[in-house]
Chains A and B, each alone.
Chain A
Amino acid sequence: MTYFPEEVVEHIFDFLESHRHRNTVSTVCKAWYRVERLSRRSVFVGNCYAVRPERVVVRFPGVRSLSVKGKPHFADFNLVPHDWGGFALPWIEAFARGCPGLEELRLKRMVVSDESLELLARSFPNFKVLVLVSCEGFSTDGLAAIATHCRVLRELDLQENEVEDRGPQWLSCFPDSCTSLVSLNFACLKGDVNAGALERLVARCPNIRTLRLNRAVSVDSLSKILARAPHLVDLGTGSFTMDHRAEAYHRLMNNFTKCKSLKSLSGFWDASPRCLPAVYPICRNLTGLNLSYAPAIQGADLIKLIRLCLKLQRLWVLDCIGDKGLAVVASTCKELQELRVFPSDVCGAGTAVVTEEGLVAISSGCPKLNSLLYFCHQMTNAALITIAKNCPHFTRFRLCILDPGKPDPVTNQPLDEGFGAIVQSCKDLRRLSLSGLLTDQVFLYIGMYAECLEMLSIAFAGDSDKGMMYVLNGCKNMRKLEIRDSPFGDAALLEDVGKYETMRSLWMSSCDITLRGCKTLAAKMPRLNVEVINERDESDEMEENPSDLHRVEKMYVYRTVAGPRNDAPDFVWTL
Chain B
Amino acid sequence: MEEDFRKGEECPHLLDLIPNERDWMVKEVGGGGKGFGVIEEKKLELRLGLPGSEDWPAVMGKQEEHSVESALSLGHYKLCKTSGINPSSVGAKRGFFDTVESKTEVFQQQQQQHPGFLQLQAKGKDLSPKTNGRAEQQSLERKACGSSVAHGSAAAPSRNAAGANNSSQTRTATTPVVGWPPIRSFRRNLASTSKPSLESENGGLETAIKPENGGKGLFVKINMDGIPIGRKVDLKAYDSYEKLPLAVNELFQGLLAAQRDPLAAGNQKNPEEKPAITGLLDGNGEYTLVYEDDEGDKMLVGDVPWDMFVSMAKRLRVLKSSELSASSLLQLGAVTRKRTAAEC
Contact = CB atoms under 8 A, between A and B. Distances in A.
A and B are partners in one complex rather than unrelated chains: yes
Contact of A459 (B180, B194, B205, B231): B180
Contacts of A348: 173, 229
Nearest to B191: A295
A357 interface: yes
Interface stretch (A64-72, A203-211, A282-290, A462-470): A462-470
A49 interface: no
A356 B194 CA distance: 28
B125 A327 contact: no
Interface in A140-180: 160
B171 A403 contact: yes
Interface in B121-144: 123-125, 127, 130-131, 133-134, 136-138
- Point out which of B25, B39, B232 has the most chain A C-beta atoms below 10 A from its C-beta: B25
Contact of A389 (B5, B33, B187): B5
A77 B179 CA distance: 5
B162 A410 contact: yes
Contact of A441 (B8, B51, B169, B207): B51
Given A241-B202, A405-B134, A473-B78, 12 more contacts: A77-B184, A239-B197, A243-B203, A274-B206, A300-B216, A344-B191, A346-B188, A347-B230, A375-B183, A417-B47, A420-B96, A466-B120
A437 B51 CA distance: 13
A439 B6 CA distance: 31
A393 B11 CA distance: 13
Contacts of B85: 448
B6 A160 contact: no
Contact of B215 (A245, A300, A408, A466): A300
A405 B131 contact: yes
A151 B191 CA distance: 40
Contacts of B161: 412
Contacts of A349: 229-231
A504 interface: no
B238 interface: no
Nearest to A439: B137
Given A239-B201, A272-B198, A459-B182, A330 B29 contact: yes
A246 interface: yes
Given A241-B198, A390-B5, A405 B97 contact: no
B267 interface: no
Contacts of B162: 409-412
Given A413-B44, A413-B158, A464-B125, A400 B182 contact: yes
For the complex of A and B, the 6 pairs showing the least CB-CB separation, nearest first, are A382-B40, A300-B216, A244-B208, A77-B179, A357-B33, A244-B204
A279 interface: no
A305 B210 CA distance: 17
Interface in B143-162: 158, 161-162
Contacts of B205: 241-244, 272, 274
A389 B26 contact: yes
Contacts of A313: none
B20 interface: no
B28 A160 contact: no
A134 B37 CA distance: 40
Q: Place the interface of chain B in its size category.
A: 35 or more
A417 B124 CA distance: 18
Contact of A244 (B74, B130, B195, B207): B207
B340 interface: no
A126 interface: no
Contacts of A385: 24, 40, 96-97
Contacts of B204: 244
Interface stretch (A116-124, A256-264, A361-369, A542-550): A361-369
Contacts of B44: 381-382, 408, 411, 413, 417
A392 interface: yes
B194 A364 contact: no
Interface of A: 74, 76-79, 134, 160, 188, 215, 239, 241-246, 249, 269-270, 272-274, 277, 292-296, 298-301, 304, 323-324, 327, 330-331, 342-351, 355-357, 360-361, 364-365, 367-368, 375, 380-383, 385-386, 389-390, 392-393, 400, 402-414, 416-417, 420-421, 424-425, 433, 437, 439-441, 444-445, 447-448, 457, 459-460, 463-464, 466, 469-470, 473-474, 484-485, 487, 495
Contacts of A411: 40-41, 44-45, 48, 158, 162
Nearest to B197: A270
B5 A77 contact: no
Contacts of B30: 323-324, 327, 357, 361
Given A241-B202, A274-B205, A386-B25, A346 B186 contact: no
B190 interface: yes
B81 interface: yes
Contacts of A405: 130-131, 133-134, 170-171
19 contacts: A242-B209, A244-B209, A274-B205, A327-B29, A360-B33, A365-B29, A381-B44, A382-B39, A382-B44, A393-B1, A410-B37, A411-B44, A411-B162, A412-B161, A416-B52, A425-B14, A439-B134, A464-B123, A473-B74
B185 interface: yes
Contacts of A408: 44
A446 to B, nearest CB: 13
B194 A295 contact: yes
A484 B179 contact: yes
A265 B15 CA distance: 38
Contact of B182 (A76, A365, A407, A424): A76
Nearest to B171: A405
A421 B136 CA distance: 23
A389 B24 CA distance: 10
A346 B93 CA distance: 39
Contact of A437 (B25, B137, B195, B217): B137
A457 B93 CA distance: 25
Given A78-B179, A327-B29, A402-B181, A245 B131 contact: no
A65 to B, nearest CB: 26
B243 interface: no
B27 interface: yes
Contact of A390 (B26, B93, B134): B26
